[in-house]
Structure 1
Amino acid sequence: MSSLAWIDFDEAERQRAQRIMALFQERESRDELGLGAIRDSIADHLFPGTSTIQTRLRYMLFIPWVFRMLEGRDVPENQLRAEARALEIRLADALKRGGETNGIIGRDAGPRLQRLPSSVYWAGLGAWGIRLFPGSTDSLFVSLRGFKRWQRPSDGEDTAASPAARAIWTRSLPAAPKDLLDQTAFALTIDEAQFIIDRLIASQPATLLTFLAREGIDAECDYIWTHPHFAAFPAPARRLIRHGEIFSEVMHGATLLYNLALSELRGRDDWAADYRKRIASWTAELDRPALSGWSLDDFWNAVEHPAHSIRPAAKRFVMQWLELVADGAGQIASAPAGRQLVEERERRLKTTQSRFTNHAVRDRWSGASGVARLGFRWSQAKSHLRDLAHAE
C-alpha cells in the first residue's frame, strides 16, 4: 500500500531559504538595510504570487504541464526529480526553437541550469490556486511515485481519507499543446489567458493584480503610482500605493547614503561624486507636503501582511530616518547622524559580514547595492498583464 507525503516542513523551509538567496542575487532586490519585509508586504498585497525573478506569464502553465508528464511514473523519487529537471531544460530549448529570445529561464545555461523555472514559479502557482498540492517540489516527487493522475473527489467522498481526493493541479487547467517540448512560445491563447484571470478572481479577488487582469488594463509606466488609470483603482489599493510611493521615495535616500558612505571608504571618488549628485536630486524631488502629512501608524496598519513579520528594529529605523529627513534632508549627505544610523543598521543586520567593518567583503563590493527605488514588483506584474492583454 502506497502512502502520500504531504508538507515536508524541513524541505519547505529549505526551498524558502533558496528562494530568498536567489532574490538577494538579483541586483534590484538586495536588501542592505533590512527593508525587505516591508517591501514584500506591500508587493504581496498588490501583486500576490509574483516575484522579482519571474519572467513571462506562460510559465504558470508550462510548469503544471511539464509536471503532469511525470504523473503515473512508478520510479524512485530521485529519478522523477532528474526527469523533471531534464524536461524543464528541454522546455528552454523548445522556446528557443519557437523564436523566443528574452525571458527564457536557462536560455544560456542549458544543462548547467541551477535555478529551475519550477522553483521560480512554485509559490505563485499556489497563490493563484493553480497548484493545489501544498508541499514543495521534492515532497511532490515523493507523493507522485506509483500514483496515477490524482482527481478531485466525487460528491460525498471522504476527502480526508482518500489520497485520490487530493489533486495536484486545479481541474480547469488547460490541456498542454502536443508539441510543447518540440517548439513553443510565450504567447498565451485566449482560453489560457481567461483561465489565469479566472484563477486570480477565485484565489485573490481583492487584489490590484486581479482588478487589472479582470479589466484588461495594460499600461506602460515605471511605477504603479504613475499608472494612467490610478484614479479607477479600488480605494484600498490607492491607499496602499500612496503609502508605498512615500515609503519608496523617503527610503531611497537611505540606500543612496549607504552607497555613498561605502564609496568613500573604498576611496572611489568617482563613485562618491555620483552618489552625492543623486542625493542632491533626491533631496530636490522630495514631496515635502506629502511627507509632512504621512502617518506612520496608518502606514504600518496598511502594510501588515500575514506572510511577513516586520521587526520592531525595522520600524525604528524607518521612523528615525524619517525624522532625520524631516529635520534636514538637504544636509543628509554630510550629516553624521544619517551616516551613523545607516551604518549601525547595516552592521546589526550583517554582523561580521558588514561592509563597514569587514575589509574583504567591502573590497568585493561592486559599487552599487539596492540603488533603484522600490517598485514593489510592478515591473513583473506589468509584464504579466501585458502577456494577458496580448493573448492570441
Structure 2
Amino acid sequence: MNSLQLGWIDYSSEHKNKVMAVLDLLSSKGAVDELGTGAIRDGFGDLFFPGTSTIQTRAKYFFIVPYLMMELERENHDSHKQFLEKLSAREIDLIHILAGNEKIGVIGARARKKLKRKPSSIYWNGLKTFGIFKKGHLSLENYAKTFVAMQRRKDAAFSLGDESGDDLTSGANEYVSNFWGCAPPLANWRDTLNMELTFSEATFLKESMIKSTKSDSSLLAFLLSQNPSKVKEIESFDMIGEQFKLQGKLREDYILAREFSEFISGANIRYNIILSNNRNEQAAEKWKEWMNSRFVNKELSHFQQEKVLTRLNIYNPLLSRFLREWKESVIKRDVGKIDKLLIKRELELKSKERAKLNNANYYAYEKGTWLGAEKLQYRFINSRVLIKDIYTALEG
C-alpha cells in the first residue's frame, strides 16, 4: 500500500504550529484513535488537566519560554516575524545547554537544529491557562505583533519627548512588562540552567496552577493540594480514586471518565485481535478477562454513554450511535456482530484503503504489537511529570 502523505499551505507561523500540534498528537503514544473516540479522551483531559498536553515534557519550560521572551522584549525588532525568528533561534541554542546537563525531557535533544515544534508553541496554551502569560486572548504570533506595535509606539513617543510609556518599559537598569506574571530571569540565568525548577519557580507554578484551574473538575489543582508522598505513589488514572477520596462534581466526573475508559477498553482489545487475524495471544487473554469482568457483567447495562457526551458538550451522532451499538452488542455477547461493528466504524472514519481492519492482511503482525492505549489516562501520565518536578523542587 502507498504511504499517506500530508501537505498544507503555510500561510503563517501560527497556521504551521496548529498543523504541527495535530501531527504531534497523532504521533504520541496512546494517541491512536482508530475508532473515533479521541474527542472524549481529549475532553476529559482538558477537564482534569487543563493547560497540559501529551507533548509537554518538563515543568521547567513554563519558565524557559517566558525568560526567552522577556529577554527579547528588551531588544528592538523590525517586525513580529523577526521577533519570532529570534525566539526560534534561541530555543534551538538552548538545546545544547539543556541536553548537556539533563537527558530526560529535553525537547529537541535528538533533532537539534531540525526541531520543528518549539517549546514556545508546545507550552503556549499552558502559559495562558495558568496566567503566566497574562494576555490570555492572544496567540503566540499575535503576542509578537502586539509587542512590536507597542515598541514602535513607544519609540515614537520617546522621539517626541513623551516618556509616559505604554505597558512596556525597558532600559539598562529596569524592566517592566505587563505581559508576564512571573518574575524576569536573572542576568546570568543561562549559566546554571538545567531542567530542575528552583524553589521560587516551583512555588509560583504550583500556586498558579491551583489558582487558575481550581474548579470542581480540576484533578491537577486537587493533586497539587495533596500530600506529595501519596501523589507520587499513583501510577495510573485509575489509582487516583483508590488513593484519594474525591468529593462532589470532581468525584462524579472522575467516576464517569473511569467507567468510560473501562467501557471502551474492550473495543481497543478486540480491535487488536481483529488486526492480528486472531494471532495476538495477549489481546485474546485480555478480551477473555474483560468479557468476564465485573464491569461487563454487573455495570455495563447501567452505564450511560450519552451522559459522557453531554458532560463534554460533544454532539456527534455517528459517535453516539457507535457507542450505543457497541454497548448493545457486548451485552448480547455477539462476537460476530462486535467484529463487524468495529470494522464498520473504522470504515466510517477512513477510506477503504486506509482502514486497517479492512486490510488486516496487509499488516504483518509481530508478537507484542499493540495499537492504541488499552486504558485511557486522560493526560495524567504527562501531568504527573509536571507535578513531580514541582514537588521535587519544593522538597529540595
| TM-score, length basis structure 2 | 0.80
Equivalent residue, structure 2, for 1:273: 281
Using the TM superposition, name which of 201-210 and 220-229 deviates more.
220-229
1:255-294 paired onto structure 2 within 5 Å? 255-264=268-277, 270=279, 272-287=280-295, 288-294=297-303
Residues 286 and 371 of structure 1: CA distance in aligned 2, closer, same or farther (over 3 Å): farther
CA distance in 1, matches of 2:16, 2:95: 25
Residues 37 and 150 of structure 1: CA distance in aligned 2, closer, same or farther (over 3 Å): farther
Question: Amino acid of the residue matched to residue 346 of structure 1?
Answer: E
Aligned-pair Cα RMSD in Å: 3.1
CA distance in 2, matches of 1:11, 1:317: 37
Equivalent residue, structure 1, for 2:83: 80
Per-residue deviation, 1:286: 4.6
User: How many residue pairs get matched?
Assistant: 357
Contact 1:74 1:146 in 2 (8 A): no
CA distance in 2, matches of 1:168, 1:348: 51
Residues 20 and 90 of structure 1: CA distance in aligned 2, closer, same or farther (over 3 Å): same
CA distance in 1, matches of 2:293, 2:178: 48
Contact 1:324 1:338 in 2 (8 A): yes
Equivalent residue, structure 2, for 1:247: 260
CA distance in 1, matches of 2:65, 2:148: 18
Using the TM superposition, name which of 187-196 and 176-185 deviates more.
176-185
Contact 1:249 1:286 in 2 (8 A): no
CA distance in 2, matches of 1:184, 1:317: 50
1:182-197 paired onto structure 2 within 5 Å? 182-197=191-206
Contact 2:131 2:212 in 1 (8 A): yes
Query: 1:164 pairs with 163, 167, 172, which one?
Result: 167
CA distance in 2, matches of 1:78, 1:210: 36
Contact 2:150 2:166 in 1 (8 A): no
1:210 matches 2:221: yes
1:216-231 paired onto structure 2 within 5 Å? 216-217=227-228, 218-227=231-240, 230-231=243-244
CA distance in 1, matches of 2:151, 2:211: 27
CA distance in 2, matches of 1:364, 1:138: 44
Contact 1:66 1:84 in 2 (8 A): yes
CA distance in 2, matches of 1:196, 1:41: 24
Per-residue deviation, 1:216: 4.9
Equivalent residue, structure 2, for 1:342: 342
Question: Amino acid of the residue matched to residue 164 of structure 1?
Answer: D
Using the TM superposition, name which of 112-121 and 197-206 deviates more.
197-206
Equivalent residue, structure 2, for 1:355: 356
CA distance in 2, matches of 1:230, 1:238: 13
CA distance in 2, matches of 1:357, 1:371: 20
Q: Deviations over 1:166-224 (max 9, x none)?
A: x9865430232444334412222222122122222332121221122134543322323
Per-residue deviation, 1:372: 3.1
Contact 1:94 1:183 in 2 (8 A): no
1:175 matches 2:184: yes
Residues 180 and 96 of structure 1: CA distance in aligned 2, closer, same or farther (over 3 Å): farther
CA distance in 2, matches of 1:126, 1:96: 27
Residues 280 and 389 of structure 1: CA distance in aligned 2, closer, same or farther (over 3 Å): same
Residues 149 and 228 of structure 1: CA distance in aligned 2, closer, same or farther (over 3 Å): farther
Equivalent residue, structure 2, for 1:94: 97
Equivalent residue, structure 1, for 2:329: 324
Residues 168 and 282 of structure 1: CA distance in aligned 2, closer, same or farther (over 3 Å): farther
Q: Deviations over 1:337-368 (max 9, x none)?
A: 111111111111112522244689x5499853
CA distance in 2, matches of 1:300, 1:200: 27
Equivalent residue, structure 2, for 1:200: 209
Q: Report the identity percentage.
A: 26
Q: Deviations over 1:128-153 (max 9, x none)?
A: 122234333333333333644999xx
Equivalent residue, structure 2, for 1:6: none
Query: 2:106 pairs with 97, 104, 107, which one?
Result: 104
Unaligned runs of 5+ in 1: 1-8, 152-161
Q: Deviations over 1:244-282 (max 9, x none)?
A: 111111211111222222222xxxx64x33322232233
Report the secondary structure of 2:62's partner residue.
helix
Unaligned runs of 5+ in 2: 1-10, 155-164, 169-175
CA distance in 2, matches of 1:280, 1:242: 24
Equivalent residue, structure 2, for 1:312: 317
CA distance in 2, matches of 1:364, 1:129: 48
Residues 365 and 37 of structure 1: CA distance in aligned 2, closer, same or farther (over 3 Å): farther
CA distance in 1, matches of 2:199, 2:153: 27
1:232 matches 2:234: no
Equivalent residue, structure 2, for 1:42: 44
| TM-score, length basis structure 1 | 0.81
CA distance in 1, matches of 2:392, 2:347: 47
Residues 150 and 107 of structure 1: CA distance in aligned 2, closer, same or farther (over 3 Å): farther
Contact 1:73 1:147 in 2 (8 A): no
Question: Amino acid of the residue matched to residue 92 of structure 1?
Answer: I
Per-residue deviation, 1:74: 1.9
Question: Amino acid of the residue matched to residue 384 of structure 2?
Answer: K
